[in-house]
Each structure stands twice: as structure tokens, then as C-alpha cells.
């Protein structure tokens, strides 16, 4: 990501600090002087990264929750340089394709990740459903080598318990409810959208709800 602001105390550098998308709101509020909007009791995952960005200060994060999916039993957490993954894909199939674009990244050359072809045919690796994979992102940013069997089990348990702690505070997934046909794009100007926010055209819905071939 790229950031520019006249408020930056230091610029022209590349930061390798861990930053999560949830940090955007508290960071912006801190930058404009409205940090008080988020009190100490505000229960959000994001943290302000403003000091890190504006002064190239010390990192404020050591971990990032990438995913917690109780529906398909898939989760991932990064702690420092380590990333622990549970069931990265369906039955171990995880096809990763590289971009066909090659922009000029001279200024970011040291931070650019260049991945070779996957060492396993079709990108299939050993992180099967219900299994754990561990990657060292510092030496393997492309996540090609699962080193969980080469790592001290106590360390794996330590990182795993961090993921479990986050999972215990997670909000139940709304996607676990039965299929709601009212979400069909035909009822919302042929667009996938939040279907319970606006009034539904119930006449249109009634015209189609009994026609199973239409869904």
C-alpha cells in the first residue's frame, strides 16, 4: 500500500511493519486528532498505526488474524514471521496463479515478493482438511514449504492457542443460516448486495418463489 500526507513527519521510506485492514479506521482517527472517539473500552481488533507511519516508528503489531471460518473449518494466524494455517483449501487443493502484470517496482525492490512456480504439481500441498501447516514467511513468503513437522511442538501449540483465543471471541457467521432466496440478484437490479437493508420487491419475489428452475 502507498500512503502520502502532509502530516507525515517522515517520508520516502518502505515500512515492513505488520498492518491489518482493521487498522485503517483507528489510524485515520489518530491522524486527524479524533483518537478519543475510540475509547479504551472500544472492542475492536484494529489499532492505530499512525506513529508507525508518520515517524517510521516501532511496529505496534506482532500478529494478524487472516481468517477464522467455522463453516469450512479454515483458519490462519500470523505471529511475527510465522504463519499457522488450518485447512488452507478444499482437500488440499490450493492453486495460486501469479500476476501477468510486471509493474516497475524499483523503489520497492527490497520489499517485492517474487515467487517461482510451486514445487508441487498443480499447487497441491500437504495442508489437507483438518490439518495444520506452518510457514516461515521471512524465508518462505510464498508459503511453499510446510515446516510444521520440523518445528518444536510446544511452539506450534503456542501459536495455535492464540488462534483459539481469537476464535472464542468471534461473532457467529451469518452464512450458516439456510439459503435465503431473497438474496437473488434478480430482486436487486441484478446485483449481489445486502438484501435485507432495503425493501424487497415482494411482488417480484412472489412471482418467482415457487419456480425452482429460476434459482
User: Can you give the pLDDT at residue 206?
Assistant: 60
Predicted local confidence at residue 184, as pLDDT: 82
Provide the CATH number for the domain formed by 63-174 in this structure: 3.30.1120.10
Per-residue pLDDT averaged across 157-182, rounded?
Answer: 81
Residues 6+ apart with CB under 8 A from 26: 35, 38, 44, 46, 47, 48, 49
Q: Mean pLDDT over residues 25-49, rounded?
A: 79
* pLDDT at site 73: 81
Would you state the pLDDT for residue 192? Answer: 86
CA separation, residue 197 to residues 123, 188, 190 (Å): 40, 11, 16
Q: What is the pLDDT of residue 97?
A: 62
User: What CA–CA distance (Å, rounded) separates 137 from 77?
Assistant: 12
Domain regions of the chain by residue span? 1-61, 63-174, 178-214
Q: Tens of pLDDT along 82-126?
A: 999 987 666 556 666 666 666 666 666 666 777 777 676 555 555
Ordered alpha helix ranges (H), 3-106: 24-31, 50-55
Instruction: State residue 134's pLDDT score.
Output: 94
Q: Indicate whether 169 pLDDT > 80.
A: yes
Residue 151 grid cell:
518445528
Each residue of 170-209: pLDDT tens digit?
777 666 666 777 788 887 788 888 877 766 555 555 655 5
Mean pLDDT over 122-139 rounds to 75
Nine-digit cell string for 210:
415457487
* Residue the block writes with cell 520489499: 111
81 band by pLDDT with thresholds 50, 70 and 90: very high
Amino acid at each position: 500500500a502507498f500512503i502520502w500526507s502532509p502530516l507525515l513527519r517522515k517520508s520516502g521510506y518502505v515500512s515492513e511493519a505488520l498492518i491489518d485492514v482493521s487498522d485503517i479506521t483507528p489510524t485515520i482517527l489518530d491522524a486527524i486528532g479524533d483518537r478519543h472517539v475510540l475509547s479504551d473500552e472500544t472492542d475492536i481488533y484494529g489499532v492505530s498505526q499512525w506513529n508507525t507511519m508518520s515517524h517510521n516508528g516501532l511496529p505496534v503489531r506482532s500478529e494478524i488474524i487472516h481468517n477464522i471460518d467455522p463453516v469450512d473449518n479454515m483458519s490462519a494466524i500470523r505471529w511475527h514471521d510465522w504463519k499457522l494455517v488450518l485447512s488452507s483449501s478444499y482437500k488440499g487443493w490450493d492453486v495460486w496463479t501469479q500476476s501477468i502484470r510486471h509493474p516497475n517496482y524499483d523503489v520497492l525492490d527490497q520489499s517485492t515478493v517474487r515467487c517461482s512456480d510451486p514445487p508441487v504439481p498443480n499447487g497441491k500441498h500437504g495442508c489437507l482438511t483438518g490439518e495444520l501447516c506452518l510457514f516461515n514467511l521471512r524465508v518462505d513468503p510464498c508459503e511453499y514449504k510446510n515446516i510444521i513437522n520440523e518445528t518444536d511442538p510446544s511452539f506450534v501449540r503456542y501459536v495455535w492457542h492464540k488462534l483459539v483465543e481469537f476464535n472464542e471471541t468471534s461473532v457467529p457467521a451469518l452464512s450458516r443460516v439456510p439459503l435465503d432466496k431473497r438474496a437473488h440478484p434478480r430482486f436487486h437490479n441484478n446485483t449481489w448486495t445486502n438484501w435485507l437493508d432495503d425493501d424487497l420487491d415482494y411482488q417480484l419475489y412472489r412471482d418467482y418463489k415457487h419456480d425452482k428452475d429460476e434459482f
